[in-house]
Amino acid sequence: MSFRNNLQQYIDNPGHELVVYSDEHTVVIEDKYPKSVCHYLVLPKDDAVTYIHPCIALKDKFLREKITPAIEFAKKLAAEEFVKRNLIPDTPNLRASFCNTYVKVGVHSVPSMANLHIHVLTRDMHLPCMKNRKHYNSFNTDFFVELSKFDEEIETSSDESSDSSSSISSETANSPDIKSSPPRKIQSQLPISADGRISGSIDGNSRIIRVHSDAAPRTPAKLKPNVVTMRTVSHHSKTTKNTAVQQISDQLKKPLQCWHCTKTFGGRFVQLKEHLRGEFHGRFHAVD
């Protein structure tokens, strides 16, 4: 089994030691290569979803409802960990504030792993597994798509799916009956194959994004009707796809910049990392 499929084992075995949460729809694991003090991955279990590109799958409100408990659990677990380490005071308000301001939730626009996974991680970004510019920029540029971004698109999709010639009540417009909606216009210029699966990957060593024709290792189960229709994606030309991949790749090469104070570091990753460590210790008065 290739490295890209390594997350499947946690879906198949929720008893694995890295699994911190499991329910009917999801498992949550501790990232094996944490980039931050707390770094979790939320993995939807459904075979029909797991090989759909995240930027498509996460526009589906049914999926979002299914994974929300796991995401909330992961955020609270991060707060719990910071309380345990005496980094934040143990009050409900401060825990909530921590979750809202210091925990990032989102996906890579070109995931390196085949199974759909949502990152939930604290913003410190200074752990040993944060090793290079690509790692940092993958979480701190537009390469990283915040989950909240899809909230807007779900709302937009609901609006688009309604009949513009009639006045539809907000209750109807927000109806979960996506099955009856016309195909949505996919705005994404991401490398997605005709069936919505991921068709690009990042080379972990060379920082180059490759496009290949079939990234998924096995045929996903039959797609459920409520999964976003992929029809418009199939019209993407190879040229468009390559341009999009290049634009995404460029995000990873951007000059380094502290997410907090915006100080720039160019290509000086070691200095950025030291700076991030200082930011962390200054903020939480942490001692190594």
Which residues of this protein are in contact with Zn ion, per CB under 5 A? Answer: 258, 260-261, 263, 279
CB 13 within 8 A of CB 3: no
Q: Smallest gap, in angstroms, from Cβ of residue 278 to Zn ion? A: 8
What is the distance between the alpha carbons of residues 225 and 62, in angstroms, rounded to a whole number?
A: 11
Of 217 and 278, which CB lies nearer to Zn ion in the complex structure?
278
- Concerning whether 117 is annotated as a catalytic residue, the answer is yes
Residue among 39, 53, 108, 117 flagged as catalytic = 117
Q: Which of 254, 260 has the CB closer to Zn ion? A: 260
**Beta carbon of residue 135, minimum distance to Zn ion (angstroms, whole number):** 17
Residue placing its CB nearer to Zn ion in the complex, 138 or 140: 140
Is the separation of the CB atoms in 283 and 275 below 8 Å?
no
Instruction: Report the chain's C-alpha Rg in angstroms.
Output: 20
* Residue 271 C-beta: closest distance to Zn ion, Å: 11
Least distance CB 130 / Zn ion (angstroms): 15
Distance (Å, rounded) from C-alpha 17 to C-alpha 282? 33
Q: Which residues pair with 30 in a beta bridge?
A: 40
Query: d(Cα 22, Cα 66) in Å, to the nearest integer?
Result: 12
Q: Give 46 or 279: the residue with its C-beta nearer to Zn ion.
A: 279
Question: Based on CB atoms, which residue is closest to Zn ion, 261 or 287?
Answer: 261
In angstroms, the first-to-last Cα distance of the chain is 38
Q: How far is CA 204 from the centre of its chain?
A: 18
Least CB distance to Zn ion at residue 256 (A): 11
Q: Which residues are catalytic?
A: 117
